[in-house]
């Protein structure tokens, strides 16, 4: 086996030499390596920033203005008093929680006219990056010889706690975690600071912030004002603190300067953000699993459930508010899965992966030392993926279908806990409180979903994999699923907060016999068993994947080899650029308010245009935000390399000034998480001028401009 020092030398050599063939439009680059890998190329492209102006652990830099928003998005600070800009769809869940039928901020929009009117966003957090520390040697030593996935996770958690304590000392406001890169071939300790007193400042109505909704999602041309604003509050010492009326706006180390000069074709543009997950080292076996199992099941199941939700949402304003966020979260991945499968076929992704694997296999076979290191890599991946196929199929139906029944999920969440489950409980995100759950729960909608999902699951999953309650359906209800569902919903104490409270105050053992709890426990037990059964294949797959990626790094020395996204801050740089989706068609790089009016359809909720916006358009009252020809810009394209998690990321010009906010990718490149397509892959961004126009002219919140800094 290659010793550790030699492996690290090869690894670092691979990274450094990759500089020669970088494509500036591709890559989610690690901040500690910008000076070595990226800054020269960026300078050649016309960027005017030094590496330390982007990432510096000793002085303020652009990374100090960028934050992870709510755990799944990115946001940026745009004022001296910690005004935060992100996407409307990133703030969507928080705005929905703050809304009621009487004060529907999702539907109608909201702008605080003073600091006192800003609304506390309960449960929302923002997290700043403090620094990265390379801990590859320590992690490699700690994990040596461990193959069991749970044991590895435990060992890594122990090491993370030890290294974090050493790194932060007595600073109670900092936290640390170890993140792996390059398929667990490299590790960094990521030090962060999290703020919990976040307040909602404002957002446009959904007719602007979600204009085009499902129809336009993942599509270009785009005309969505996808933005919302929040503010970070801190204690008197400028440290994180729980909500208090005595807290004051956080004073950031850095906030972004805003440019109103706009964009032109080929202008340099870069993004700092928190991309969630990519799989650029994926094999053909994984592509097949993703397409034929994961995506196919997700498309089918969510399509059925979403139809049920949408019919009820259209029929009742209260249900629409209750299920808006649930529907949006479901439909986003549903449509992306469709686009991904289409891209897999059109771009021949499977065939390209097979070709690359053959190249790798031939390269390995040409050297005995490579055979020793990497000879089993692809075989292990193949056996792992193919061995778990049947289990993965059933598990995906459990996740997508039965786990979407809210009543049975709530019964397990709020019902009695066994000693075993208490003992095995692991730290995780805080559970939804009963009050929050039932606020957004509609019984009749859930009954419809439950009937459809239980029927679909029985139709698609082998009888041997059906959870226990199907036997009850057959023996006590003569196979009638509708009657069974009606009964458990009529008998369960988990259908309302009032009944749940009454049951919790009584004999807990009675809750164990609740039909919804029994069904929910059947589902969770079956999922637990599937996860245990699949573990042996996942362990083999993880081993093969690590060796495969290590081998690819060595084989492709001299090529661009950035690590996959893993929810750590990354840099991507490129330029403003149009594209041609098919022969004879060229999509311009910019859209304007003209397109909003052209798409208007008062009979379709996705394309309703507010009267005030139409009035501003008719008067051409665009102020300082208009293009030179008098039109109002809305969105623009760049070829930056982004994925989920980058939503809300700042798009910056050559000087590091804010010109827009990233919010989507384009339909034609939905295989981009696996293969970057330079001719097709585009990042869709809200033009900062449209954001400020809507805030100022439409929303009447122009006073916020006074705390911002604008480029001259």
pLDDT tens for residues 577-597? 999 999 999 999 999 999 999
Q: How much is the pLDDT for 508?
A: 80
Of 379 and 431, more confident: 379
**Residue at token pair 């999602």:** 217
- Compute the distance between CA of residue 334 and CA of residue 312 in angstroms, rounded to an integer: 19
**86 token code pair:** 């992100």
Q: Of residues 25, 130, 216, 226, which has the active-site annotation? A: 226
**Residue at token pair 């986003």:** 332
Q: Mean pLDDT throughout 565-580?
A: 97
DSSP class of 68: E
Active site residue 376: no
508 contact partners, CB below 8 Å, separation of at least 6: 416
Active site residue 482: no
- Compute the distance between CA of residue 212 and CA of residue 257 in angstroms, rounded to an integer: 30
Residue 78 near residue 708, CB atoms below 8 Å: yes
Give the three-class secondary structure for 150: helix
507 contact partners, CB below 8 Å, separation of at least 6: none
Residue 385 near residue 290, CB atoms below 8 Å: no
Count of C-beta atoms within a 10 Å radius of residue 192:
18
Residue 297 near residue 397, CB atoms below 8 Å: yes
Please return the burial class of 248, using the count of CB atoms within 10 Å of its CB with bins 0-12, 13-18 and 19+. middle
Give the three-class secondary structure for 252: coil
Kindly report, residue by residue over 367-393, the tens digit of the pLDDT: 999 999 999 999 999 999 999 999 999
DSSP class of 514: -
Long-range contacts of 17-23 (CB under 8 A, 24+ apart): 17/557, 17/558, 18/556, 18/557, 18/558, 18/559, 18/560, 18/561, 20/558, 21/558, 21/559, 21/560, 22/560, 23/560, 23/678
- Compute the distance between CA of residue 481 and CA of residue 137 in angstroms, rounded to an integer: 56
Q: How much is the pLDDT for 226?
A: 98
**118 token code pair:** 């800003």
Active site residue 226: yes
Q: What percentage of the chain has pLDDT greater than the value 90?
A: 91
Angle at 662 between CA 660 and CA 663, to 5 degrees: 130
* pLDDT tier at 561, thresholds 50, 70, 90: confident
Stretch (H or E) spanning 160: helix 149-168
Kindly report, residue by residue over 478-528, the tens digit of the pLDDT: 999 999 999 999 999 999 999 999 999 988 888 999 999 999 999 999 999
Q: How much is the pLDDT for 418?
A: 60
Q: Flag whether pLDDT at 559 surpasses 80.
A: no
Give the three-class secondary structure for 217: coil
Angle at 616 between CA 613 and CA 621, to 5 degrees: 145
CA distances from 594 to 11, 563, 609, 643 (A): 51, 41, 12, 28
Residue 668 near residue 47, CB atoms below 8 Å: no
Beta bridge partners of 84: 77, 230
Q: How much is the pLDDT for 426?
A: 42
The dihedrals phi and psi of 708, each to the nearest 5 degrees, come to: -95, 165
Mean pLDDT, the chain, whole residue set: 93
- Compute the distance between CA of residue 191 and CA of residue 336 in angstroms, rounded to an integer: 32
Q: How much is the pLDDT for 19?
A: 35
Give the three-class secondary structure for 107: helix
Kindly report, residue by residue over 160-174, the tens digit of the pLDDT: 999 999 999 999 999
* pLDDT tier at 600, thresholds 50, 70, 90: very high
The dihedrals phi and psi of 310, each to the nearest 5 degrees, come to: -65, -40
169 contact partners, CB below 8 Å, separation of at least 6: none
Q: How much is the pLDDT for 598?
A: 98
Kindly report, residue by residue over 638-679, the tens digit of the pLDDT: 999 999 999 999 999 999 999 999 999 999 989 999 999 999
**Residue at token pair 């661009």:** 560
**Residue at token pair 């007595």:** 170
Q: Of residues 89, 337, 465, 514, which has the active-site annotation? A: 89
Q: Of residues 180, 331, 337, 647, which has the active-site annotation? A: 647
For the chain, the domains span 62-257, 284-551
Kindly report, residue by residue over 66-98, the tens digit of the pLDDT: 999 998 999 999 999 999 999 999 999 999 999
* Strands 119-120 and 126-134, sheet pairing: unpaired
* pLDDT tier at 237, thresholds 50, 70, 90: very high
Q: How much is the pLDDT for 22?
A: 43
CA distances from 214 to 218, 326, 517, 570 (A): 9, 13, 34, 28
Residue 209 near residue 664, CB atoms below 8 Å: no
Cis peptide before 221, with omega less than 30 degrees from 0?
Answer: yes
Largest CA distance in the chain: 76
Percent composition of the chain: helix, strand, coil (DSSP 3-state, to 5): 50, 15, 35
Number of H helices, E strands in the chain: 29, 21
- Compute the distance between CA of residue 280 and CA of residue 285 in angstroms, rounded to an integer: 13
């Amino acid at each position: 086996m290659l010793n550790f020092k030699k492996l690290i030398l090869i690894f670092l050599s691979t990274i450094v030499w990759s500089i020669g063939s970088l494509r500036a439009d591709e890559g989610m680059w690690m901040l500690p390596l910008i000076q070595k890998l990226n800054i020269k190329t960026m300078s050649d492209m016309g960027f005017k920033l030094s590496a330390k102006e982007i990432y510096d652990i000793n002085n303020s830099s652009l990374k100090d203005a960028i934050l992870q928003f709510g755990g799944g998005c990115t946001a940026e600070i745009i004022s001296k008093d910690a005004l935060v800009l992100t996407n409307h769809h990133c703030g969507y869940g928080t705005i929905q929680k703050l809304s009621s039928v009487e004060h529907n901020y999702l539907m109608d929009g909201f702008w605080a006219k003073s600091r006192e009117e800003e609304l506390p966003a309960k449960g929302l957090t923002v997290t700043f990056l403090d620094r990265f520390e390379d801990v590859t040697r320590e992690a490699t030593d700690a994990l040596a010889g461990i193959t069991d996935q749970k044991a590895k996770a435990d060992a890594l958690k122990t090491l993370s706690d030890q290294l974090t304590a050493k790194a932060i000392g007595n600073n109670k406001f900092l936290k640390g975690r170890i993140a792996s890169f390059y398929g667990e071939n490299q590790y960094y300790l990521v030090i962060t600071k999290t703020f919990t007193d976040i307040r909602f400042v404002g957002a446009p109505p959904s007719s602007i912030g979600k204009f085009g909704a499902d129809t336009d999602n993942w599509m270009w041309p785009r005309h969505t004002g996808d933005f919302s604003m929040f503010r970070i509050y801190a204690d008197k010492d400028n440290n994180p603190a729980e909500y208090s009326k005595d807290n004051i706006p956080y004073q950031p180390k850095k906030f972004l300067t805003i440019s109103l000069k706009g964009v032109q074709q080929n202008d340099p543009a870069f993004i700092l953000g928190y991309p969630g997950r990519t799989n650029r080292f994926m094999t053909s076996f994984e592509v097949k699993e993703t397409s034929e199992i994961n995506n196919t099941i997700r498309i089918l199941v969510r399509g059925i459930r979403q139809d049920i939700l949408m019919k009820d949402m259209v029929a009742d304003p209260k249900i629409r508010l209750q299920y808006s966020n649930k529907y949006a979260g479901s439909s986003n991945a549903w449509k992306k899965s469709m686009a991904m499968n289409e891209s897999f076929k059109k771009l021949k992704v499977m065939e390209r992966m097979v070709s690359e694997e053959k190249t790798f296999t031939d390269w390995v076979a040409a050297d005995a030392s490579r055979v020793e290191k990497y000879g089993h890599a692809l075989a292990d991946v193949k056996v792992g993926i193919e061995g778990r196929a049947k289990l993965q199929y059933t598990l995906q139906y459990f996740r997508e279908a039965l786990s979407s029944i809210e009543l049975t999920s709530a019964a397990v969440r709020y019902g009695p806990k066994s000693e075993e489950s208490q003992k095995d409980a692991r730290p995780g995100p805080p559970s939804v409180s009963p009050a929050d759950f039932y606020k957004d729960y509609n019984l009749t909608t859930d009954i419809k979903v439950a009937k459809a999902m239980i029927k679909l699951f029985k139709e698609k999953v082998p009888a041997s994999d059906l959870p226990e309650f199907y036997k009850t359906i057959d023996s006590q209800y003569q196979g009638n699923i509708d009657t069974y569902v009606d009964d458990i919903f009529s008998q369960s104490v988990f259908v309302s907060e009032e009944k749940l409270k009454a049951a919790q105050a009584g004999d807990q053992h009675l809750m164990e016999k609740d039909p919804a709890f029994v069904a929910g426990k059947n589902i969770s037990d079956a999922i637990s068993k599937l996860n245990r059964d699949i573990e042996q294949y996942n362990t083999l797959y993880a081993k093969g994947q690590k060796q495969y990626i290590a081998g690819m790094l060595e084989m492709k020395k001299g090529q661009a080899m950035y690590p996959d996204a893993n929810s750590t801050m990354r840099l991507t740089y490129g330029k403003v650029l149009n594209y041609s989706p098919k022969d004879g068609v060229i999509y311009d790089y910019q859209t304007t308010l003209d397109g909003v009016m052209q798409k208007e359809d008062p009979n379709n909720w996705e394309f309703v245009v507010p009267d005030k916006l139409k009035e501003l358009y008719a008067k051409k009252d665009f102020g300082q935000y208009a293009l030179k020809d008098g039109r109002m810009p809305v969105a623009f394209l760049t070829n930056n390399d982004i994925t989920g998690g980058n939503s809300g990321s700042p798009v910056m010009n050559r000087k590091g000034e804010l010109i827009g906010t990233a919010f989507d990718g384009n339909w034609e490149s939905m295989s981009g998480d696996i293969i970057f397509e330079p001719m097709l892959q585009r990042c869709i961004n809200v033009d900062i001028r449209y954001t400020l126009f809507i805030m100022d002219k439409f929303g009447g919140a122009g006073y916020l401009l006074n705390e911002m800094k604008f480029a001259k």
